[in-house]
Amino acid sequence: MTALLVLLCVILIGIIVVQIGKVTELASKIRGEEEAQERTNRTQAGYSMIFMVLFLIGTVVSALYYKDSMLWYGPNESASAHGGSIDYIFNLTLFFTGIVFIITQILLFYFAYKYRARRGVKAEYISHNNRLEVIWTAIPAVVMTFLVVGGLEAWNEVMADVAEGEDFIEIEGTGYQFAWHLRYPGPDGKLGARDYKLISASNPLGQVWSDEKNLDDFHPSEIVLPVGKKVRARITSRDVLHNFYIPHFRVKMDAVPGMPTYFVFTPTITTEEYRAKLGALDENGQPKYPEWHQPSDPDDPESPAKFEVFDYELACAELCGTGHYAMRRVVKVVSEAEYQDWLSKQQSYYESTIKGTDNDPFATEAPAEAEALTDASQDMEEAPAEEAAAE
């Protein structure tokens, strides 16, 4: 019934609008076409100016309104070492394009308004102006060069792989439909070999158990990282494309089946520090970011405030199927001591799940095969904890 009523209303409105159209057309016929056109020009030119003013105000005001939650100011600050350089280029670009945006929009609508057709006024024959055209070709070219150089400098720095002999933690994220499977290298600091043909329910990553480096690898349910330490994320996929995306770290890289990719980053703010920042009070004792002080569960006013339960998140940013929107993993950034504490509590996947079961390759025979591989893994020493903390 309501649907019918709505439909009826819509049809009625349609008819009314069509009638208005017909009436104004008739009126213009009576009044004389030229005068009608001049009236139209006046009103439409006026609308253009009103639109321009409201539009520009709207863009600026909305930008300021959403600044806190969005524009990489305030709470949405990057939490990684390289993030700042990306945010800087972003803001630099915003500055230049903002100027161009406002000037060109104003000129466009103002010229349209100013040079509306009026009786007795003729248009000026201006076909081109070489000097002007050279200038306005050169200016964007120069500004672009400036932005490109800045952008590429940041790009090449951000995308560089770890250097030889550098101290870093390697972690691995494997996308599959629809979650991230995480792997840490364990005490030896090295991830073991994988073969996708070995993947099974008990061996979700297809780890090759004859590779000794695999035996201490563990599979946590969340990423835990020490603050201030370089991390190399090895990113792979088991089935279709995924994308390893941690928005607060400005980290994003596709996971491609059959071709491991990587992203190197250094977390700079611990989860606790970030929570404190979100919950901060200004000089008047008022919350700086009130939206983060709302209860985390909207139905329960007693639930902890949003900032108290804030976590960095790992998401998927490459359409991978129907569950694409739900590939969440928590990322925790902690102090070095907490990290070591957490590490010591992790049990290797082999120890916890494989050892002693039917799937254990070592259950029946001695690991003769594995011995050959130990040489390679021995020269990799685990980074001393003190050194990392001093950084």
Partner 1 sequence: MDPQTHNPPAAGLAAAPDAHEHSGDKYQSTFITKYIFSQDHKMIARQYLITGIVWAVIGALMSVIFRLQLGFPEEDYAWLRPILGKWIIVNSDGIGSIAPDFYYAMVTLHGTIMIFFVLTGSLSGTFSNLLIPLQVGARDMASPFMNMLSYWLFLLSTLVMGASLFVSTGGFGGGWTHYPPLSALPQAMSGSGAGMTLWIVSIMLFIASVLLGGINYIATILNMRTKGMSLWRMPLTTWSFFVTAIIGLLSFPVLLAALALLTFDRSMGTSFFLSEIFIGGQPLDHIGGSAILYQHLFWFLGHPEVYIVILPAMGIVSEVLAVHSRKPIFGYKAMVYSIMSIGFLSFLVWAHHMFMSGMNPFIGNFFVVATLIIAVPSAVKVFNWIATLFQGKISFTTPMLFSIGFVSMFISGGLTGIFLGNSAIDIQLHDTYFVVAHFHIIMGVAAFFGTFAGVYHWFPKMFGRFMNETLGKIHFWGTMIGAYIIFWPMHYLGMAGVPRRYYRFDSFQAFGQFDSINQLITIATIITFGLQVLFILNFFFSIWKGRKVTSLNPWKANTLEWTTPITPGHGNWEGPIPEVHRWAYDYSTKGAIEDYVPQHHPVERQGAH
Interface residues for partner 1 in 136-165 (CB under 8 A)?
136-137, 140-141, 144, 147-148, 151-152, 154-156, 158-159
Residues 329-388 interacting with partner 1 (rule: CB under 8 A): none
Among 74, 77, 81, 105, binds partner 1 (CB under 8 A): 105
- Per the listing, tokens 């609008």 go with 17
Among 122, 285, 286, 302, binds partner 1 (CB under 8 A): 122
Among 81, 179, 256, 389, binds partner 1 (CB under 8 A): 256
Residues 294-313 interacting with partner 1 (rule: CB under 8 A): 306, 309-311, 313
Residues in the interface with partner 1 (CB under 8 A) total 120
**Exposure b/e, 148-165, CB count within 10 A at least 16 = b:** eeebeebeeebeeeeeee
- Identity of the residue, 245 or 349, whose beta carbon is nearer to partner 1 in the bound complex: 245
| The token pair that represents 280 in the structure block | 């901060």
CB of 243 to partner 1, least distance (A): 7
Instruction: Give the SS3 label for residue 158.
Output: helix
Comparing C-alpha atoms, which of 331, 84, 329, 345 is closest to residue 226?
331
- Identity of the residue, 32 or 321, whose beta carbon is nearer to partner 1 in the bound complex: 321
Comparing C-alpha atoms, which of 87, 93, 72, 71 is closest to residue 148?
93
β-sheet bridge partners, residue 242 = 255
Among 31, 57, 64, 101, binds partner 1 (CB under 8 A): 101
Q: Which of the stretches 111-119, 207-215, 222-230, 332-340 binds partner 1 when contact is defined by CB under 8 A?
A: 111-119
Name the CA dihedral angle for 211, 215, 216, 221, rounded to a multiple of 10 degrees. Answer: 110
CB of 8 to partner 1, least distance (A): 15
Name the CA dihedral angle for 31, 34, 35, 37, rounded to a multiple of 10 degrees. Answer: 110
Among 128, 290, 300, 375, binds partner 1 (CB under 8 A): 128
CB of 179 to partner 1, least distance (A): 11
| The token pair that represents 125 in the structure block | 């024959």
252 binds partner 1 (CB under 8 A): yes
- Identity of the residue, 163 or 366, whose beta carbon is nearer to partner 1 in the bound complex: 163
Q: Distances in Å between the alpha carbon of 220 and those of 173, 276, 342?
A: 11, 26, 10
CB of 359 to partner 1, least distance (A): 16
Residues in CB range of 338: below 8 A, 6 or more apart:
226
H-helix or E-strand containing 314?
Answer: strand 312-316
Contact 116, 42 (CB under 8 A): yes
3 binds partner 1 (CB under 8 A): yes
- Identity of the residue, 109 or 350, whose beta carbon is nearer to partner 1 in the bound complex: 109
Instruction: Give the SS3 label for residue 181.
Output: strand
Among 8, 31, 304, 323, binds partner 1 (CB under 8 A): 323
Binding mask 32-61 for partner 1 (x = CB under 8 A): -----x--xx--xx-xx--x---x--xx--
97 binds partner 1 (CB under 8 A): yes
Residues 212-241 interacting with partner 1 (rule: CB under 8 A): 235, 238-241
Among 182, 316, 331, 334, binds partner 1 (CB under 8 A): 316
Binding mask 58-77 for partner 1 (x = CB under 8 A): xx--xx--x--xxxx---x-
- Identity of the residue, 97 or 374, whose beta carbon is nearer to partner 1 in the bound complex: 97
| The token pair that represents 121 in the structure block | 């006024």
- Identity of the residue, 199 or 389, whose beta carbon is nearer to partner 1 in the bound complex: 199
Residues in CB range of 211: below 8 A, 6 or more apart:
192, 193, 370, 373
Instruction: Measure the CA–CA gap between 306 and 27, rounded to whole angstroms.
Output: 60
